[in-house]
Chain A
Amino acid sequence: AQSVTQPDIHITVSEGASLELRCNYSYGATPYLFWYVQSPGQGLQLLLKYFSGDTLVQGIKGFEAEFKRSQSSFNLRKPSVHWSDAAEYFCAVAQFKAAGNKLTFGGGTRVLVKP
């Protein structure tokens, strides 16, 4: 069965500094990968997704992610963090099933931004 691991439960970063969130997946075939963000008290919003092609994917809010098949990773990055980036971030992998496709989510990484 596929799985997603986000090794960092919490990350604290200073405003203006760079941010990298780690995501490792386990999946037998070529994965469909996603990063979602959840602001406090809100539902999840898609940041970016990788299906195929260029392994460096650009998303909304200045985020990017790089797919590395050899490392089974899909890490999320932002060069300069803003206070509004304080949120919880979830990595997810899509599972293909005859009964219907669905996502498996990692445990999430909570990002705190210091002024």
Chain B
Amino acid sequence: NAGVTQTPKFRILKIGQSMTLQCTQDMNHNYMYWYRQDPGMGLKLIYYSVGAGITDKGEVPNGYNVSRSTTEDFPLRLELAAPSQTSVYFCASSKRGLDEQYFGPGTRLTVT
């Protein structure tokens, strides 16, 4: 049982490039989330999904896009990367949205 997996673990992007952060969960969870973590700022919600085909914005969605075509996958797309998007990105999932969230190991992204 792999839980929540994220790829890549590390990535360096140049300003203006784009990329997709992958997230997959094998627990048949309905809810999936993308957070970014900046030092001293805790976790900020970027986007979340309550099921396949349904997504909604979190606190800091600008510069990001998501899709949820299957229950298992919830990729996060960065278009036109900017230095302000340098952060650690975490994907998480939960069964019902009010219970425990299971987190992936994170992706450390640097934009230069």
Which positions in A face B, CB cutoff 8 Å?
Answer: 4, 6, 9, 32, 34, 41-46, 49, 51, 90, 94, 96, 99-108
Contact = CB atoms under 8 A, between A and B. Distances in A.
Nearest to A101: B97
Interface of B: 4, 31, 33, 40-45, 48-50, 54, 56, 58, 90, 92, 96-101, 103-106
- Give the 8 A-B residue pairs with the shortest CB-CB distance, closest first: A43-B103, A101-B97, A100-B50, A105-B42, A107-B42, A105-B43, A44-B103, A46-B100
Contact of A102 (B4, B42, B58, B105): B58
A48 to B, nearest CB: 10
A2 B64 CA distance: 24
Contacts of B98: 32, 51, 94, 96, 101
Nearest to A10: B40
Nearest to B6: A43
